[in-house]
Structure formats: C-alpha cells, structure tokens
Homo-oligomer: A and B are copies of this chain.
Amino acid sequence: MSTRDLAERFVASLEARDWDGWTATMQPDVVYEVPQTRERIRGRDRYLQFNREFPGDWHLSPAITVADDDHAVVVFRWRVGDAEEQEEQEAIVVFGFRDGLIATVTDFWPDPYEPPPGREHLTERW
C-alpha cells in the first residue's frame, strides 16, 4: 500500500471508528506526538485506547493529502458534534513510515487567534 493509501485509510477508518482497519495501517510500536502539548503516546494499543476514550462526537474529513516516499501529510477539517452546532477547524497530521506501515503520527491543532496589529493595509479577512 502506498504512503498516500495508508494516510487516506488512516483518516477514513478513524472517522468510521473502524478500529481494526485503523490499527492495520500502523506499526505496533507507532509513536504518536502532539508537539503543542508535548505529549507522546508509545504503541498502537495505547494510541487506540486514546482514540476510543477521546470525548465527544468528533468527526474529521480530509481536505488536502500530500504524500511522497518518506512522509504523508493530511490537512483535515475537524469538529465535535453536529456540523450546524460548531464551526469546523483545520488540523494537520504528519505521518512517517517504516516497512510499509505508519511508524510516526504527529498532530497539530492550530487554534484561531486575532491577527496582530500593523498589517491591515495588506490583508483582507474572511
């Protein structure tokens, strides 16, 4: 399976709570990291438990997938609950690979913030 296929299957099976399909994309010793919180989870079993226990009716859908031989990145939209209730946010996951399976998963969850002053003459807002 290509790195692109693995990345797409990871996201689709996670959204579907297809836990067997999801764990099949990863090495048993996969390492999951969240650089913003400096959190690390070692191993597929703990990472599975982390996602099973993650609170809320969360949903993710891929927006952009980029893949080459060594890495894949998925920019995805993420929300908890009904689409009407909460605006979707974008998040980014970076995959590393070893022996045809995902070996590292790194998540970034960028929160909205107000732009600093001094660049209004160049920018528009949406």
- A-to-B contact residues, CB < 8 Å: 4, 34-42, 46-47, 49-50, 53, 55, 64, 66-68, 70-73, 75, 90, 92, 94, 108-115, 118-119, 122-126
CB contact between A125 and one of B40, B114, B126 (< 8 Å): that residue: B40
Judge whether B49 and A122 touch: CB under 8 Å: yes
Copies of this chain, whole number: 2
C-alpha gap A118/B55 in the complex (Å): 10
Task: Determine the chain B residues whose CB is within 8 A of the CB of A72 once the complex forms.
Answer: 66
C-alpha gap A109/B111 in the complex (Å): 9
Judge whether A50 and B90 touch: CB under 8 Å: no
Interchain nearest-CB distance for A1 vs B (Å): 16
Judge whether B126 and A108 touch: CB under 8 Å: no
Judge whether A37 and B113 touch: CB under 8 Å: yes
Judge whether B53 and A75 touch: CB under 8 Å: no
